[in-house]
Amino acid sequence: MTRITSSAPAPKSWISAIAPYVPGKATSADGKPVIKLSANENPLGTSPAAHAAFAQGSVDLASYPDPSAAKLREAIGKVHGLDPARIIYGTGSDELLHIAASAYAGPGDEIIYVRYGFAVYEIAARRVGAVPVVAPDKDYGTDVDALLACVTDKTRVVFLANPNNPTGTMTPRSEIARLHAGLPSDVLLVIDQAYAEYLSPEDDDGALELAETAPNILVTRTFSKIYGLAAERIGWGYASAEIVDALHRIRAPFNITTAGQSAAIAAAEDREWVEQSRAHNRQWRDWLSAEISALGNHGLSVVPSNTNFILALFDGALTAEAAFNGLMQAGYATRWLPGQGLPNALRITIGTEAQMRDVASIIRDMAQSA
Ligand SMILES: *Cc1c(COP(=O)(O)O)cnc(C)c1O
């Protein structure tokens, strides 16, 4: 049959409904390069050992990478005490979030996440034609009861970032356990631990432990944040053998580059770099939080952070928009979040000491003269 038509291909209606992901800015409006405190990258960069391994891994460019990422899974398994056979890997944890939605939800199904959750969850839900369901927050964090109240017969997946981006809030171990216990066992609970390495061990939310035996938990991690490998796009996840099997069917066939695998192995093994990055982050996060909190009489406050960024709230004469523009003019890109329902908030990545001192003094000057 020859179909005669003059129309162009039409995207599926649920694809047209997607608002594209907005990446953190790296240039000002007039194109000048700025210091990027807008994408939660590691200001100390990448472990030198990972850099060296990357160079080694890029020698053979003509061959496909190891499709099973065997050595990387082994290295991750060793660091975290996990079964390598149950580790899935992705082109960034972004790929894992998308394939988790594709494997378990389709048109008409519901995917739940918390208000002020990670922006990718809505895209992952809409991409497969599922209906995004937004649970109300509690003080910018997770309200487990409100989330459970959103569950219906159509619920297939729940996404929860812990700690959360862009709020920096943390859902404690007891609440994660309560959420999991309250969900039907055929609903996939995705705990996105992109910032877990910034926590103290005693603050661990227990999701990896739950995933050891639960049939319905996928924990995701990334090499993009504390490991400083965002350029290489490497994420991993841990779940039951059945979930991992389903995800393998739909991941891209060679989804992590050879050099990326080499770099990630070295990065995973360089615990000193991780420790140093965590210590640097804690020191300057606490310092910047205190500096901004001290401007409370000008309407500024900070949502207590468990991550490598802070969410600063501007409820006085100085607006978040004006602060965003002022910082940009001074050479710093931060994240203003009106598109995520937070027009009074700036998300600021923790940078170097010099950057943090500079940013605090710029914000103080703006607040005092507004
Ligand atoms: C940065 C981030 C990710 C992931 O990033 P990848 O670079 O794709 O691994 C996932 N979840 C959250 C909450 C993040 O902030």
DSSP 99-112: HHHHHH--TT-EEE
At residue 22, the pLDDT reads: 83
At residue 168, the pLDDT reads: 98
Rg (CA), the chain: 21
Angstrom distance (rounded) from CA 251 to CA 273: 30
At residue 3, the pLDDT reads: 85
At residue 4, the pLDDT reads: 86
Angstrom distance (rounded) from CA 161 to CA 119: 11
Nearest to 208 by CA among 168, 238, 247: 238
What the chain holds in terms of domains, given with CATH numbers, is 22-45+272-369 (3.90.1150.10), 48-269 (3.40.640.10)
Query: Atom of ligand 1 at shortest distance to CA of 233?
Result: 7
The DSSP secondary-structure symbol of 26 reads: S
Q: Which residue has a Cα nearest atom 3 of ligand 1?
A: 194
At residue 151, the pLDDT reads: 98
- Residue type at 323 in one-letter notation: A
Cα 237 to ligand 1 centre (Å):
12
Q: Say if ligand 1 is within 6 A of residue 326 CB.
A: no
Q: Say if ligand 1 is within 6 A of residue 92 CB.
A: yes
Residues of the chain with pLDDT under 70: none
Angstrom distance (rounded) from CA 56 to CA 78: 22
At residue 273, the pLDDT reads: 97
- Residue type at 305 in one-letter notation: S
Cβ atoms of 326 and 355 within 8 Å: the answer is no
At residue 130, the pLDDT reads: 98
Q: Report pTM.
A: 0.96
Task: Ligand 1 pocket test: pick from 36, 192, 232, 257 the residue with the most ligand atoms within 8 Å of its Cβ.
Answer: 192
Query: Atom of ligand 1 at shortest distance to CA of 161?
Result: 13
At residue 283, the pLDDT reads: 98
Q: Which residue has a Cα nearest atom 15 of ligand 1?
A: 165
Query: Atom of ligand 1 at shortest distance to CA of 97?
Result: 10
